[in-house]
Amino acid sequence: MLLFLVSCFTFIILFKFSFFKHLLRTTIKAGVTTSNTQTLDKTSNKDSLCLLDLPELPLECILVKLSPSGLASMSGVCRSFRAMCTQDHLWKKHLNHKWSKFLIGDSMHQEWQTFIHTKKKQTFMVSSNGKGYFGVFTTWWNEYLKFNNTSICLPIESVMFWYLSLESGSFSFPAQVYNREHGNVGFLLSCYDAKVSYDAHTDSFNARYLALGRSTVEENIKWERLRSPAVDVSPYELHVSDCLTDLHPGDHFEIQWRKSKEFPYGWWYGVVGHLESCDGNKLYCQCHLSERVILEFKQYKIGSRWRKAIINRKDHREVGNETDGFDAGIRKLYSDREIMTWKGLWPAQQLD
């Protein structure tokens, strides 16, 4: 324990006075030219100090504190650091910290398995493009590789490769976009499936929507407009509603809706309303006992054909027509966070 404390304290002092970079430089040197003079001998002994000389536990404590770019930089120093800095447990922390909102459910993981399957026979090389999170580092690393005539490859199934694939935008993954097409009035308070990729230069996303064989591309989508798919079903499949008996006036919900049979479903936000025969008094309300459920979309004005919909609680399936579109599966919202997200997207004025 005493050795551990002394080692940690030594590292802090070295780091405090910018000696850390000096240690890295001495690590990658093959040796140090010595002199017969006493002064140069002392300098040589000092320069022989290396981070790898630290005990394993203090060194591990240092690595877990490094940022992704710091870990990547360290992995380019030498083979020993490369083995340590590419370990899954170090990168899993960074993956979960930045990308956890998209790791919910099976869709991301299935897409990742498909992605790495196509990469099995390829080698992932970190390239210098001067952009994004690793721009400065990758430029330095490639110069280092050229100087040493070395190649550094990442295991395709490693967490580090997953993180860098997301960060570089080379891996497009399934997500859902709120208010698609930059808040087009036809999509307000909806959420649609898309394949998205990250743009580290702008810290935003690009989305590709597919319908009727044609793709629509949207750029510069901020983090708050994205979520992981709400349910693990294809956007062309009906979601089996398991909450119909639990719907009461005032409950928040999302319902699948599509314009025609050829289009994918989007999820639309609404609130359960009262039957026309009910005055809304909670003491006497019996709406939850009726087979009919009133769905209200209060972003539309009273009298709009989009304001209300009625479904059958006991026998709900896809209903509709080519004029008004098709209503399908329903999911009740239990999370305050989900509800607040929808409310935060509320339009400035009601729609027609």
Residue 299 CB neighbours (<10 A): 21
Identify the weakest region by mean pLDDT among 42-56, 102-116, 161-175, 177-191: 42-56
Give helix 159-168 / helix 107-118 axis angle, nearest 10°: 100
Q: Are 281 and 331 in contact (CB under 8 A)?
A: no
Write phi, then psi, for 311 (nearest 5 degrees). Answer: -125, 165
First-to-final CA distance of the chain = 71
Structure tokens belonging to residue 226? 């994205």
Is the per-residue pLDDT at 254 higher than 70? yes
Confidence of residue 82 (pLDDT cuts 50, 70, 90): confident
In this prediction, residue 106 has a pLDDT band, given cuts at 50, 70 and 90, of: confident
Q: How far does Cα 316 stand from its chain's mean position? A: 34
DSSP state of 154: B
C-beta of residue 351 within 8 angstroms of C-beta of residue 300: yes
Q: What's the whole-number mean pLDDT along residues 78-90?
A: 87
Provide the whole-model pTM: 0.76
What is the three-class DSSP state of 131? coil
- 284: three-class secondary structure by DSSP: coil
* 8 compared with 326, residue with greater pLDDT: 326
State both tokens at 35: 């002199």
What's the pLDDT tens digit per position in 46-71?
455 566 667 777 788 888 889 998 89
Taking each helix axis as running N to C, give the angle between helix 68-75 and helix 88-99, from 0 to 180 degrees, rounded to the nearest 10: 150
- pLDDT category, 17, cuts 50, 70, 90? very low
Q: Give residue limits of the domains in the chain.
A: 15-29+39-93, 99-168, 176-227, 244-343
Structure tokens at 141: 């690393």
Phi then psi dihedrals of residue 37, to 5 deg: -75, 150
What's the helix, strand, coil split of the chain in %, to 5?
A: 40, 20, 40
DSSP run (H or E) holding 207? strand 204-211
Beta-bridge partner residues of 332? 253
| Torsion 83-84-88-93 (CA) sign | negative
Task: Report which of 11, 124, 114 is spatially closest to residue 57, judged by C-alpha positions.
Answer: 11
| Beta carbons within 8 Å of 207's beta carbon, 6+ residues apart | 175, 177, 180, 194, 195, 196, 217, 218, 219, 221
Instruction: Supply the pLDDT for residue 129.
Output: 46
CA separation (Å) from 280 to 202, 233, 308? 48, 36, 16
pLDDT digits (tens, 9 = 90+) for 112-149: 999 988 877 555 444 444 444 444 344 334 433 333 34
Residues 352 and 304: beta-carbon distance below 8 Å: yes
